[in-house]
């Protein structure tokens, strides 16, 4: 036992020394924290009745500890780190295709412009049936299979065999992997002669470069008013959020500040570099808009710079700071809170635990908040006034100036089942595979397609038949209720599969109630002005 005691003492001393060297004066007794944990792990590893996996036990202890702190502190293993960072880095390394799994087959929706696959002539509609001589179809093919086989380090190569409709033999390609961009902007287009639209899905390292390119495009098209769509945007880098808000606010205006027990207040202010400080501005949010999205919309709202339209945002106002662990993993530890310029905390309460915290969206639906704003009640202590005397609310999330309810009238069980069973994707993939050349011939430009293409009765009969085959019984009343959404979704997905995501959003913009309301608000000088300065 003397040797065991010696080893234990040595381990505790090394951990204690590391803690003091990194953090400075300890705030707790190490005998109750680091030394206690090290001792417990030592005893488990050396005296437990069966074999153990100490690394796994340590990992689980860290995960559970972070979970007990708040909903957003997190552990990321070294194996998961690269994948977790990809959306924020704005790129990954691979062959450069957008794909879908169709009947256990890898179907190329589109090659990434300028990527290695496009340069070799790989086309939308191609099916990858072999990878490095191995069959790439059947039950084993899932998203992980595709990622493992096709992604890889820049400069490495992968051999694929492709089936192309009309070709008797498979076409072999050797693709040299490269860095592939992950765009944070899904769509940029003009809604009418004056109003531009940008759909932003995340705040990454490349967002501002993309945003400036989008603004240049819209300005050249005559834009004087802008709708920025942040619905479903769960956030990203704080610095990117500050830069984006800076585009709309005057020099010196506070954008956001952060503060925590161990993090002194830090202010982030606008510079003189704003590119759209004048002109009507509407920012669209919903219950999926979080973090960086709330920083931008909160700053714009607090300075009476524009209108916030939609539904109450998610309410994530905790700042995570990454800390490296010895094995290459990291913890993203909450170190501060975000506050809007008027002093509102963006973070909603999480006192009842993580599980209930993440059930909040369901509770909003259940309580009617997504449909009726009257179901939302704020105490007087959470009311703030902007410089223009507009009332805004704290307590978590950003409450929009203009509430647009979730359209539950056309979302029937029949429509929901079509989405859940993947019928829309299956039908449009098959339709485009059979009719791609015909569509491109009849509609050489997307604008012709958007204006003139109709989902006809024959298409609808085929669509219903596929739904029946997938186990969705036809319901005449529910179909009629959802028919407009069904037809537009089919048309939009056909457009996406032939042209891209930008064109998908252009098609659905015709039936997007919130977007149509935003356009109407911009069109009325009186309504817009009164909403900002009541």
**Residues identified as active-site:** 291, 302, 316
Q: Where are the beta strands (DSSP E) in 342-446?
A: 383-385, 391-393, 402-403
Distance from C-alpha of 391 to C-alpha of 71, rounded to nearest angstrom: 29
Q: Are 159 and 173 a contacting pair, CB within 8 Å? A: yes
Q: Are 508 and 493 a contacting pair, CB within 8 Å? A: no
Q: Are 326 and 300 a contacting pair, CB within 8 Å? A: no
The candidate with the shortest Cα–Cα distance to 105, out of 69, 158, 134, 142, is 142
Those residues with Cβ within 8 angstroms of residue 329's Cβ, 6 or more apart along the chain or in another chain: 59, 75, 76, 77, 78, 81
Distance from C-alpha of 85 to C-alpha of 99, rounded to nearest angstrom: 21
Distances from the Cα of 528 to the Cα of 189, 225, 304, angstroms: 22, 12, 11
Cβ-in-10-Å burial (0-12, 13-18, 19+) of 47 comes to exposed
CA gyration radius for the chain?
27
Q: Are 320 and 333 a contacting pair, CB within 8 Å? A: yes
Distance from C-alpha of 325 to C-alpha of 331, rounded to nearest angstrom: 7
Quick one: DSSP state of residue 170? P
Helix (H, G, I), strand (E, B) or coil at 275: coil
CA angle 366, 368, 369 (to 5 degrees): 110
Cβ-in-10-Å burial (0-12, 13-18, 19+) of 509 comes to buried
Q: Are 413 and 400 a contacting pair, CB within 8 Å? A: no
Complete DSSP assignment for 210-264: HHHHHHHHHHHTT--EEEEE-TT---B-HHHHHHHHHTTS-TT-EEEEEEETTEE
CA dihedral in degrees (294, 299, 305, 306; nearest 10)? 10
Residues shown for the chain:
534
The candidate with the shortest Cα–Cα distance to 431, out of 405, 406, 465, 400, is 465
Those residues with Cβ within 8 angstroms of residue 210's Cβ, 6 or more apart along the chain or in another chain: 183, 184, 185
Question: Dihedrals φ, ψ of 333, to 5°?
Answer: -105, 130
Q: Are 309 and 292 a contacting pair, CB within 8 Å? A: no
In angstroms, how far is the first alpha carbon of the chain from the final one?
78
Cβ-in-10-Å burial (0-12, 13-18, 19+) of 105 comes to middle
């Amino acid at each position: 036992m003397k040797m065991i005691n010696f080893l234990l003492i040595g381990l505790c001393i090394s951990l204690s020394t590391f803690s003091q060297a990194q953090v400075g004066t300890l705030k707790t007794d190490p005998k109750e924290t680091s030394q206690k944990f090290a001792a417990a792990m030592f005893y488990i590893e050396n005296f437990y009745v069966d074999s153990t996996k100490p690394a796994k036990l340590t990992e689980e202890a860290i995960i559970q500890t972070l979970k007990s702190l708040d909903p957003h502190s997190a552990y990321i293993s070294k194996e998961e780190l690269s994948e977790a960072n990809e959306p924020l880095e704005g790129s990954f390394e691979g062959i450069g295709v957008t794909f879908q799994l169709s009947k256990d087959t890898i179907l190329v929706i589109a090659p990434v412009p300028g990527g290695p696959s496009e340069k070799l002539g790989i086309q939308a509609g191609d099916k990858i049936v072999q990878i490095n001589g191995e069959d790439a179809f059947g039950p084993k093919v899932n998203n992980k299979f595709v990622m493992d086989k096709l992604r890889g380090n820049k400069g490495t190569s992968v051999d694929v065999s492709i089936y192309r409709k009309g070709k008797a033999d498979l076409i072999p390609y050797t693709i040299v992997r490269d860095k592939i961009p992950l765009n944070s902007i899904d769509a940029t287009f003009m809604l009418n002669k004056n109003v531009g639209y940008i759909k932003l899905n995340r705040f990454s390292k490349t967002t501002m470069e993309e945003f400036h390119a989008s603004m240049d495009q819209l300005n050249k098209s005559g834009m004087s008013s802008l709708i920025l769509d942040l619905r479903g945007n769960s956030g990203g880098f704080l610095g990117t959020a500050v830069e984006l808000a800076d585009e709309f606010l005057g020099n010196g205006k506070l954008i956001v500040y952060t503060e925590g027990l161990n993090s002194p207040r830090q202010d982030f202010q606008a510079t003189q570099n704003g590119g759209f400080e004048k002109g009507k501005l509407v920012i669209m949010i919903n219950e999926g808009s979080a973090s960086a999205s709330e920083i931008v919309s909160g700053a714009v709202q607090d300075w009476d710079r524009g209108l916030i339209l939609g539904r109450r945002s998610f309410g994530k106002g905790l700042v995570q700071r990454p800390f490296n662990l010895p094995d290459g993993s990291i913890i993203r530890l909450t170190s501060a809170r975000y506050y809007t310029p008027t002093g509102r905390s963006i973070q909603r309460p999480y006192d009842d635990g993580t599980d209930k915290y993440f059930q909040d969206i369901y509770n909003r639906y259940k309580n009617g908040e997504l449909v009726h704003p009257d179901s939302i009640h704020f105490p007087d202590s959470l009311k703030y006034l902007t410089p223009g005397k507009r009332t805004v609310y704290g307590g978590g999330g950003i409450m929009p100036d203009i509430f647009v309810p979730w359209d539950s009238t056309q979302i029937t069980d029949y429509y929901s089942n079509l989405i859940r069973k993947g019928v829309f994707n299956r039908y449009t993939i098959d339709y485009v595979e059979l009719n791609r050349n015909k569509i491109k011939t009849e509609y050489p430009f997307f604008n012709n397609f958007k204006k003139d293409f109709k989902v006809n009765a024959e298409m609808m009969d085929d669509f219903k038949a596929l739904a029946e085959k997938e186990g969705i019984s036809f319901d005449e009343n529910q179909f009629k209720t959802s028919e407009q959404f069904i037809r537009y979704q089919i048309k939009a997905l056909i457009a996406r599969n032939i042209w891209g995501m930008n064109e998908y959003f252009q098609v659905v913009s015709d039936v997007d109630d919130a977007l149509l309301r935003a356009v109407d608000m911009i069109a009325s000088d009186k309504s817009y002005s009164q909403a900002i300065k009541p």
